[in-house]
Amino acid sequence: MKPAKLHYWILGCFSMVLCCGCTSEKFLLSDSHPHAWEKLYLAHHWPVTVCKMSANDCQDPPEYWTIHGLWPNRGEECNRTWHFNVTEIKDLMSDMRCYWPDVLHSSQNCTHFWRHEWEKHGTCAATLQILNSQKKYFGKALELYQHLDLNSSLLKAGIKPGSTYYQMTAIKEALTSFYGVTLKIQCLPPEEGEKAQTIGQIEFCFSKKLELRNCTESTGGSERMQADLELGTGELSVCDDTLPTYYPSQVQSHK
């Protein structure tokens, strides 16, 4: 092959490679791709309610809202070869144990719970540069949690755990007023003989720029993620605005 022809042949191959790379990237980022996502849920759960729902033996659950997970609204286990490595978050360990504990297995190491969250959800969130490592993913979730300070916000609104029933509309209005967006609140429906639902989870929604946005009820959202906790005696669902709401301070039936 003559030098001139060889030169154009090489350029042609190089252009084809670039073109293929662009096509692949476009495909990966397209809305039709199964791992494409548009928003993140930062889910807080109320440990006392989690223990009430669970067949496991919860012991002394924290009486403050803790992190359930940081979840893209689409995609699960996006990279099954990217395994959890606890040494990558060793600098976060103190905050992780405090704010992101394994509520169901308080006497055990939380590593299993964190591994599950990373491998199921973190590997999908990692398509965002700001979340593209285990330290970034867990660290950013902790940062958002502390910035939102849900525990203090509820207390400032006069909403605190105890024997008092609350109207769900009042809780929603207080949180919307405080954060400027609509949150998603999930409850444990009343059991037989109970008159009130029990608050269990509050989710904040974020854009890919990690800006707060309204949460909307749509299929394929976080409802399908309840299995994360392997709950044994009930399932959370979007709270009913017409029912009184119980915000329990300890693990017991409230009838």
**Catalytic sites, residue numbers:** 68, 117, 121
Q: What is the DSSP string of the chain?
A: --HHHHHHHHHHHHHHHHHHHHHHHHHHHSTTSTT--S-EEEEEE-HHHHHHH-SS---S--SS-EEEEEEESS-S-S-TTS---GGGGGGGHHHHHHHS--GGGTTS-THHHHHHHIIIIIHHHTTSGGG-SHHHHHHHHHHHHHHH-HHHHHHHTT--SSS-EEEHHHHHHHHHHHHSS--EEEEEPPPTT--SEEEEEEEEEE-TT--EE-----TTSGGGGGGGG--SS---EEPPTTSEEE--SSSS---
